Amino acid sequence: MIARIWHGVTLESKGDEYFNYIMETGVKGYRSTEGNRGVYVLRRIRNGQAEFLLISLWDSFEAIRKFAGDDIEKAVYYYPRDKEFLLELEPNVKHYEVLASP
């Protein structure tokens, strides 16, 4: 199993609205892609900002390609309001092999 980790930051005042937005866009996209085993959405409020960490779990790198395209290291920003919320469009994601899980 592979974990795909994406990080994004919005203003604290937009944190709840952004959470609802990513649930309807990115998280929904993850879950509807064959080979996805689920996603954790983590949030931390700090210094007036809401930081989000999405950890999606996948059967394989090939399954990730079904969601992200050929360049799986590149972050995916094809949802219409991403630029409205995010303070920066971080260019890359990270992948890790899952060696143990609950």
Domains and their CATH numbers in the chain? 2-97 (3.30.70.100)
For residue 82, pLDDT over 90 is answered with yes
User: At 43, is the pLDDT very low, low, confident or very high (cuts 50, 70, 90)?
Assistant: very high
pTM for the model? 0.93
Q: Are 6 and 95 in contact (CB under 8 A)?
A: no
**Residue 84 main-chain phi, psi, to 5 deg:** -70, -35
Tokens 């395209």 -> residue: 69
Q: What is the mean pLDDT of the chain?
A: 97
Look at residues 70, 48, 64, 46 and name the one whose alpha carbon lies nearest to residue 4: 64
69-79 pLDDT tens trace: 999 999 999 89
Rounded Cα gap, residues 34 and 51, in angstroms: 28
Query: Can you say how many angstroms the Cα of residue 58 is from the centroid of all Cα atoms in its chain?
Result: 13
For residue 102, pLDDT over 90 is answered with no
